Structures are given as structure tokens and as C-alpha cells.
Amino acid sequence: MDNNTIPVMEPDRQYYYMNLCKQQLLDLRTKLNRSVTYCVTTFGCQMNAHDSEKLKGILDEIGYEEIEDEKADFVIYNTCTIRENANLKLYGHLGHLKKIKQKNPHMIICLCGCMMQEPHVIETIKTKYKFVDIVFGTHNIYKLAELIYKHYEEDELVVEVLEKNDRYVENLPTKRKYSFKCGVNIMYGCNNFCSYCIVPYVRGREKSRTPEEIICEVKRLAKSGVKEVMLLGQNVNSYGKQYAYDNDKISEVESDNVSFPELLRLVCKVDGIQRVRFMTSHPKDLSDELIKVMAEEPKICKHLHLPVQSGSTEILTKMNRRYTKESYLELVTKIRKAIPDIALTTDIIVGFPGETEENFLDTMDIVEKVRYDQAFTFIYSKRSKTPAAAMDNQVDEAIIKDRFSRLLQLVNKVSSEQTKRFDGLVKDVLVEEINHQDNSLVTGKTDENVTVHFKGSGELVGEIVKVKLNECRGFYYLGERI
């Protein structure tokens, strides 16, 4: 290859490699006399799901055909490492893939995402899973085509994991799961260092995209038929903040950058966008201005995901969450006063090191007091590098299991009671799909993120329609269009 012809600038460079891969794929197609397929499997959060849409966009552009089967010619796992069981799941899948690959010599196995940012994982792959072909991390998913081409040329394991997220490449092809709703990254990374969490180590330092870039993307999405956007970031409330870094010390620097509430107002102004959601909000950074914007802007969905993690101030301090049980409850009161019918959801960790029965009862108490519409509950998982992994008093497994099941019972009870509050109301529902079990029904979501099934056909998919919520079935509704 003549290096002089390779573009240096992105995204041109990646389009150049997509073209090379296209040629190479055409040859393979001719040789096999069939289409060449891919399958992307995504673990973890909304961010990963959104990244997978970018991976699929590149593979489509190259000419691969998507199938939902791990027997595909090109298999990618976009991994998660937030809890240990996410890692174990991947190794389980890899064992299975090894057998499939033995039967298909053209198969390429590619691993990317958060788990690949951990050096011990790369070591394990190199020694125990030698049949893997391409590995990259969270900071260079835009390079998929270049890495595929490198593997094609060198015919050996290609590993490219970067420690830092110093560049973002936008304007590459993406393949959206839904034509009418889409995630939009507004920031990357996290600077909070909650003591249990591996995210700041694998996703790097917090970096906000410019408002111009974001609005330009939202306008483009609206033009292509998107009605609902979900603004994505590990902590959207710190959007626009600037930081100074001095070794391990991170301090916020004054700036007149656009803040998150201001960004929300700008996004709401985009014609065609009818619903705006966002995720995730750290309680410590949730401002009065945000509450005001949520109350005033009809396009912003009346749903707030506000992870509490624990109801015990003692545990919250050890978690480095920087709020107390009382200040969280005050915040909830303030939010409910401004937006009375808002749906609140949360994340809760059970069994953080040193958690006593009394601490746990504080968590049960906060669930009762806040009355969450939905709560995602997790068993604490020890993650390497995090401060909590080195803490004494790791809680006994049997005690954690008992607490977890008591908590689950409570959150299920509370959230089904909360869901009932919409009984008989007429709500705007964005129809997402034809119901999988009964194709005379369609399924959609209310503003508050409640799932509703009602009689209707495929033409309704992507439309916002008025639906009466007739029958509450625990966490979802059966309704009728009016």
C-alpha cells in the first residue's frame, strides 16, 4: 500500500478504509458465492447500544449483511465490565464461538467496548482465546474499518486499545435500531469516581461535545424522521463543565460554556423533535435550573432516572456519592413539587463493603419514601482498581442474597403500585413495534416510560397517538386508542 494516499484526517481516513474493505469483501463474496454476514451482540448500557449502532453502520457500508445469529462470518461483541458477571458472560460466549469458528474458516471474531480497556482481559484473550481476531476498546470504535483491513493484511490478532479518549470522530455511518428514536452522545467519560465503579477507568475523563455539534446532529436526525432523542452521558448534569487536571486531582474550572439545562432548551427548539429524554443524572449535580426547564418544556419527558445507589448516608459517603439520604429526599421533594406527576427511576446497589443491616434498612426506607416507578437493583461487584475493592468488611454472600431478595420484593411492590396511578388516563404513546406475542397489538411508551399494548397495526409504528390506559398488569398497561 502506498502510504501517501491514505488520508490523515478523520473521518476521511475511515471512509478510505471502508472502501478498501468493500473491495476485499466483494472478492470474498465471489469466492464463497453467497452474501457475507455479521452479527453484533451488545452487553451493558445505552451508551454501548448506541456505539453498536455505529459499528453496524460501518459494517453495512462495507457490504456485510446483518443477521441475528452468532454463526455469522463477522461476529462482534461490544462488551460491558460494570459487574463481574458481565465479564463471565463474555467468556461463556467465546467458548461457544470457538466451536462455530472451527467449522467456518472465514469467520472473524472481534471484541470491543469497556471490558477491553482492562489489561488483564487482554492478557486472558491473548493466552486463552487465541481464535479472536480483532480487539479494540472504547476510545476507537470509529476505527473498525481500519482495524478490519489491518487484520486482512497481516492475518494475525490485531489489538488496539487506547488509554485516553483524546479524539472523537463523528459523521460516520450509523444504523439505527428505530427510525423514529435515537440516542445522541452529549458527553463521554466520567470524572466522579464513585468508589465502586470501574467506568471512569474504562471510559476515561469527562469530555462534552460542543452544543453546535449536538444541535447539528439532532437537526439531521429530525430531518430523517426521528421524533424522540435520548441525550446520553454518564452524568449529563455536568455537561459543559471544564476541569483542570493535576496528577490525580480533578478540579472544576469556571467557564461560560452552555450548561445542560441550556442545552435541553436548544434541543427542544429543533423542529420535528417531539420528545426529549436524557440519561443519567447524578443527584449531586442536579440543578434548580434543570428542574425549571423540565417543568417548562413540554417536549421533555416527565421521567427522571436518578440513581440513589444506597439510602444510607454512611454508605453514600463511602461510595463517594457526595450527597446524603436527607439531601436526596429534599431533592426529590423539590422535583415533585415542580413536576407533580413525574416518573422517578433509580439504580440501587446491595452489599457495598461494610453495609450493615441498619444501613440496608435505610435503603429500604428511601424506596418507601421516594416511591420509585422503577428501580434497577444490583448486587455489589468488586471491580479491580476501584477503591471499594480494597475496603475491609466485604459483606457475606448469604446476607447479600437475603437483602437483595427483600429489596426486590419491595421495589416490585412499590413500582406496581406506582404504575397503577395512571389507570384510566389518556396518554400520548410513541408506538415502537408490533407486539411480539400478539401481532394484532402494538407496543409503545408513554412520556413517563410506561409500556402500553393496544390494538393497532404496523402503520402506527413511529407515530405518537392518544391511548387510554385501561388495565394495569403490574408494570405495563393494556390500552385502547382513542
Instruction: Report the interface residues with ligand 5AD, using CB under 6 A.
Output: 82-83, 196-197, 307, 309, 347, 349, 378, 380-381, 383
Q: Is 279 exposed, middle or buried (0-12, 13-18, 19+ CB in 10 A)?
A: buried
235 binds ligand SF4 (CB under 6 A): yes
| Residue 193 contact, options ligand 5AD, ligand SF4, none, Cβ 5-8 Å cut-off depending on partner type | ligand SF4
| Residue 235 contact, options ligand SF4, ligand 5AD, none, Cβ 5-8 Å cut-off depending on partner type | ligand SF4
Instruction: Give the nearer residue to ligand 5AD in terms of CB position, either 78 or 309.
Output: 309
Range in contact with ligand SF4 (rule: CB under 6 A) among 105-113, 197-205, 243-251, 285-293: 197-205
Q: Residue 339: CB partners within 8 Å, gap ≥ 6?
A: 291, 294, 295, 302
The DSSP result for 131-196, as a single string, is T--EEE-SS-GGGHHHHHHHHHHH-S-EEE--S-------------S-SSEEEEE-EE------TT
Q: Please say whether the beta carbons of 319 and 352 come within 8 A.
A: yes
| Residue 383 contact, options ligand 5AD, ligand SF4, none, Cβ 5-8 Å cut-off depending on partner type | ligand 5AD
Sign of CA dihedral 479, 224, 229, 263: negative
Instruction: Give the nearer residue to ligand 5AD in terms of CB position, either 386 or 419.
Output: 386
Instruction: Give the nearer residue to ligand SF4 in terms of CB position, either 273 or 279.
Output: 279
CB of 204 to ligand SF4, least distance (A): 11
| Residue 378 contact, options ligand 5AD, ligand SF4, none, Cβ 5-8 Å cut-off depending on partner type | ligand 5AD
The C-alpha angle with vertex 195 and arms to 191 and 198, in degrees rounded to 5, equals: 65
185 binds ligand SF4 (CB under 6 A): no
What is the C-alpha to C-alpha distance for residues 96 and 239, in angstroms, rounded to an integer? 41
197 binds ligand SF4 (CB under 6 A): yes
Question: Which of 59, 186, 194, 229: binder of ligand SF4 (CB under 6 A)?
Answer: 194
CB of 310 to ligand SF4, least distance (A): 12
CB of 388 to ligand SF4, least distance (A): 11
Cell of 433: 413495534
* 433 alpha carbon, distance to own chain's centre: 20
282 binds ligand SF4 (CB under 6 A): yes
Rg (CA), the chain: 23
Residues 444-473 that bind ligand SF4 (CB under 6 A): none
Q: Please say whether the beta carbons of 369 and 329 come within 8 A.
A: yes
What is the C-alpha to C-alpha distance for residues 467 and 465, in angstroms, rounded to an integer? 6
What is the C-alpha to C-alpha distance for residues 54 and 47, in angstroms, rounded to an integer? 11
CB of 78 to ligand SF4, least distance (A): 17
Instruction: Give the nearer residue to ligand 5AD in terms of CB position, either 24 or 313.
Output: 313
199 binds ligand SF4 (CB under 6 A): yes
80 binds ligand SF4 (CB under 6 A): no
What is the C-alpha to C-alpha distance for residues 305 and 479, in angstroms, rounded to an integer? 25
CB of 199 to ligand 5AD, least distance (A): 7
**Residue 77 bridge partners (DSSP):** 41, 111
| Residue 192 contact, options ligand 5AD, ligand SF4, none, Cβ 5-8 Å cut-off depending on partner type | ligand SF4
Query: Which regions of 283-336 does DSSP assign to beta strands (E)?
Result: 303-305
208 binds ligand SF4 (CB under 6 A): no
Residues making contact with ligand SF4 (CB under 6 A): 190, 192-194, 197, 199-200, 234-235, 282
